Structure 1
Amino acid sequence: MSTIAEFRLSTTEMALADTLEYVPDATVRLETAVSRTLSGLWVLDAEREAIESAFEADPTVESATLLVRTDEGLLYDVEFAEDARRLCDELLAEGGSLLEARGADGSWQVRMRFRDREKLCRTHDRLLESGVNIDVRRVTDLDETTATHTRLTPEQQEALSAAFELGYFEIPRRISMEELADELDISHQALSERLRRAYETLVDAELQPTNGSS
């Protein structure tokens, strides 16, 4: 059964410690749709000149290219140094999916989805063995109790949670149906069916009280 874990890592152990010290008001956020390569990085609340100077001085950054500027912030294509890439490999070694990673005030707030608690524990132990301190703040299992409460099956609950976390419902979408199916390690058809049945269940649950009172 899928497990969602939220934890904190120091920027000195992950990446961009110098950048966030140089531009203390900045917040950085990894683009989850491409998180497996650690390439898309949003920078919020920072001027372009300041953040690019910080990137140049930061030993964890090999290169940074501005892709787009929006009202939300600056999106960079960042190539991280080997040590930072190694930590990413440690995080993803057990098949976990990086849902969110946000850096500010000297720490990274990370949210990941694992297939079960055992894989989360393996990741935790792997990081500790590598000398990385990981502060687990919250663990949530998408178990049968959760599914019963929502009237969704565990598989439907997992699919909806992943779709929401990875931006499938956003406009424009941050992840396609095919990419989402790959994240869940199921076929496109299976994912489409799970989401369709989940929609039906939620709509029925929402309309049922109204129908019952008429």
Structure 2
Amino acid sequence: MSTIAEFRVPAAETALSATFEAVPSVRFELEASVSKTLPSLWVSGVERETIEDAFAGDSSVEAFELVTRSEERLLYDIESSTAQAFYDKLLSSDGSLLEGHGCDGWWQYKMRFRSREALVETHERLENDDITVDLSRVTDISRMTTGNSRLTPEQHEALTAAFERGYFQIPRQISMEELAAELGISHQALSERLRRAYGTLVDAEVQPANEQTNS
């Protein structure tokens, strides 16, 4: 059964340490992505000229490009072999990155793993590379269902993964094929789990109203 883990690692042992030191107020957010390549970075808390000077002076950054900007944030594509190597280690045991943030010299992550064993493998891999892992929370998805839930653990897992990975967003952030691959099941199995989960949830909402009408 899938496991959700929340943890942080120091930038000094991964990437962009010099940028954090040069601009203490900077905050990063990894853009949602299903790719195995390094995600783009949303940057806030700093002006464009300041962050680009910091990137230029950071030995872990080989190249950077502004993709777009909003009133409060800047989106950059970053080329960094150091960051890519770390990202590869994170995902090498079929982990899926749900959230990623950087501030105060730390990178904070929320990830889903297919099993506790996959989480342990990732933790050991990072520790063996002298990367400190500060684990704050580990939750088995099967335990996230309440005692009154009518969903099976497998249905709950499928719905949770679909929601977290943007399957229900418009436009969709992940295809059913990609989501099924992350869960380690077939496209057909995922489709069936989601359909049954939809039916259960709709029944839970509609049935009480019908019972009141018939009473």
TM-score where L is the length of structure 1: 0.88
Q: State how 1:126-145 maps to structure 2 within 5 Å.
A: 126-143=125-142
Q: Which moved more, 1:33-42 or 1:48-57?
A: 33-42
* 1:68 corresponds to: 68
Q: Which moved more, 1:161-170 or 1:131-140?
A: 161-170
The Cα offsets for residues 37-64 of structure 1, whole Å up to 9 and x where unpaired, read as 1131111232221111111111221111
The structure 1 segments of at least 4 consecutive aligned residues displaced by more than 4 Å after TM superposition are none
* 2:113 corresponds to: 114
The Cα offsets for residues 133-170 of structure 1, whole Å up to 9 and x where unpaired, read as 10110011012772764322222222211122122233
Runs (5+) with no aligned partner, structure 2: none
- Indicate if the aligned counterparts of 1:30 and 1:102 stay in contact, CA closer than 8 A: yes
Q: Which moved more, 1:95-104 or 1:182-191?
A: 182-191
- Indicate if the aligned counterparts of 2:38 and 2:83 stay in contact, CA closer than 8 A: no
Q: State how 1:133-172 maps to structure 2 within 5 Å.
A: 133-143=132-142, 146=145, 149-172=148-171
- Indicate if the aligned counterparts of 2:114 and 2:184 stay in contact, CA closer than 8 A: no
Separation (CA, whole Å) in 1 of partners of 2:50 and 2:189: 47
Separation (CA, whole Å) in 1 of partners of 2:141 and 2:70: 35
1:55–1:3 distance in 2 versus 1, CA, 3 Å: same
* 2:51 corresponds to: 51
Task: Give secondary structure in 2 for the equivalent of 1:9.
Answer: strand
Offset at residue 35 of structure 1 (A): 5.1
Paired AA for residue 175 in structure 1: I
- Indicate if the aligned counterparts of 1:94 and 1:123 stay in contact, CA closer than 8 A: yes
Offset at residue 181 of structure 1 (A): 3.2
TM-score where L is the length of structure 2: 0.87
Paired AA for residue 23 in structure 2: V
Paired AA for residue 38 in structure 1: L
* Higher Rg: 2
1:4–1:149 distance in 2 versus 1, CA, 3 Å: farther
Identity %: 58
Separation (CA, whole Å) in 1 of partners of 2:190 and 2:57: 44
1:26–1:187 distance in 2 versus 1, CA, 3 Å: same
* 1:25 corresponds to: 25
Separation (CA, whole Å) in 1 of partners of 2:180 and 2:71: 31
Separation (CA, whole Å) in 1 of partners of 2:142 and 2:108: 24
* 1:123 corresponds to: 122
Separation (CA, whole Å) in 2 of partners of 1:208 and 1:194: 21
- Indicate if the aligned counterparts of 1:39 and 1:79 stay in contact, CA closer than 8 A: no
Paired AA for residue 80 in structure 2: F
Offset at residue 74 of structure 1 (A): 1.6
* Cα-Cα RMSD: 2.2
